[in-house]
Each structure stands twice: as C-alpha cells, then as structure tokens.
C-alpha cells in the first residue's frame, strides 16, 4: 500500500501467508491462525509510542531553546502536538476497524469450517479466555463432540514476528522497548519479536 495512505504507521502491518506456503490437507484456517493473521490488532498499544515521542519532542524543544517561555514555548510545541493527535486519531480509527473485521472474519470462517451455528461461535467468543489457536480447538471440540487439547496438537506454521518498526522509524526502538518494560506487556517482552 502506498505510503500516502499509511503515513501514520510506524510499524509493519500484519502479513497474510501466501497460499503456496500452506500445507495441503491441513486446515487452511488453522494455519492462518497459527501464522498470526487472526491475532489481536496491537495498534491500540502502539498508540502509546506517540505519547512517548511527543514527550521526548517537548524535552528536546526545551533543551534546544531554553529562552522560550510560556506562549512562545506553547507555539513551538503546537505542531508536534497536532501531528501526534492526527496520527493517534488515524491509528485508533484503523485499530477499531481492523478489530471489528477480525472478529467478524474469525466467526465467519469458524462457522464455515465446522458447519456450526454462528450464534454458538459468537456466544463462545464472549466467554472464552485464551488464544485464537486455543479458541479454534475449543470450537472444533464443540462441533465434533470430542475434546481436542491444543497443547497436544502439532503446530504447523511459526507465528510471524510482530511490532517491527519500519526502517525510517527505528530511531524510536529505545522508546518502544521502554514502554514495553514499563507496562509489562508480556507477549512483547521477548526480544525475538523485534529482530
């Protein structure tokens, strides 16, 4: 997608696995789930980076221009604040849209794969607490009437790495790692996600 439409993204988006890399004879939906196409959209967490960048920009302006006071200082940081607010608005719009589409798609695909009533899937989504892969096996257990333990099922595809800053944005990696440690975002504490 053109940079014109994704100027607000600092991280690479979720990729879809090409069909030629999928195993034949195995569930395409399960492989796509394992690859991470249906995992929660983390734009909502990435928005915290915008606040950190804005705070760092304010510190830089105060350090580089100590003579600025009150109104002139506010005027100097106004452009940074406008850019931050515009980017945060775009990020949240994209986040909410992506989440709604993701939930609808996973419900539709599970319904199709297991020929199960969509209401059952929807109700189970409301009460289930686990990963998307575990949810797949939970619905499979309901549909087929026998228990499938996700921990005993072989994983077919490795999950794609997440939260990789685009080359132009790599200057913010220290801010991002600081946020991860500060908020203790468990799934992101693994450095391998950032290689």
What is the pLDDT, as a whole number, of residue 140? 95
Give the model's confidence band at 192: pLDDT under 50 very low, under 70 low, under 90 confident, else very high. Answer: very low
- The answer to whether the CB of 175 falls within 8 A of the CB of 10 is no
Please report, for the chain, the start and end positions of each structural domain, with discontinuous segments joined by +: 19-194
What is the pLDDT, as a whole number, of residue 101? 93
3-state secondary structure of 134: helix
Give the model's confidence band at 145: pLDDT under 50 very low, under 70 low, under 90 confident, else very high. Answer: very high
Q: Which residue has the tokens 């450095």?
A: 191
User: How far, in Å, are 72, 129, 179 from residue 45 at the CA level?
Assistant: 32, 20, 10
Any alpha helices (H) in the chain, and if so which ranges? 28-35, 43-64, 70-114, 118-127, 132-144, 173-183
| pLDDT greater than 60 at residue 66 | yes
Give the model's confidence band at 193: pLDDT under 50 very low, under 70 low, under 90 confident, else very high. Answer: very low
Rounded to an integer, the average pLDDT of 33-46 is: 86
What is the pLDDT, as a whole number, of residue 56? 92
Beta bridge partners of 11: 165
């Amino acid at each position: 997608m053109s940079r014109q439409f994704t100027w607000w993204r600092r991280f690479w988006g979720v990729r879809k696995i090409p069909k030629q890399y999928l195993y034949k004879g195995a569930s395409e939906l399960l492989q796509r789930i394992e690859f991470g196409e249906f995992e929660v959209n983390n734009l909502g967490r990435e928005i915290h980076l915008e606040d950190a960048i804005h705070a760092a920009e304010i510190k830089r302006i105060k350090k580089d221009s100590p003579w600025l006071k009150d109104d002139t200082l506010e005027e100097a940081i106004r452009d940074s604040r406008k850019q931050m607010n515009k980017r945060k608005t775009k990020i949240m719009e994209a986040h909410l849209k992506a989440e709604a589409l993701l939930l609808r798609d996973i419900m539709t695909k599970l319904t199709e794969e297991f020929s199960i009533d969509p209401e059952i899937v929807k109700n189970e989504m409301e009460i289930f607490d686990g990963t998307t892969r575990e949810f797949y096996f939970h619905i499979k257990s309901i549909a087929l009437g026998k228990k499938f333990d996700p921990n005993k099922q072989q994983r077919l595809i490795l999950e794609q790495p997440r939260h990789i800053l685009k080359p132009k944005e790599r200057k913010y990696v220290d801010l991002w790692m600081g946020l991860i440690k500060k908020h203790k975002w468990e799934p992101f504490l693994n450095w391998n996600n950032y290689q």
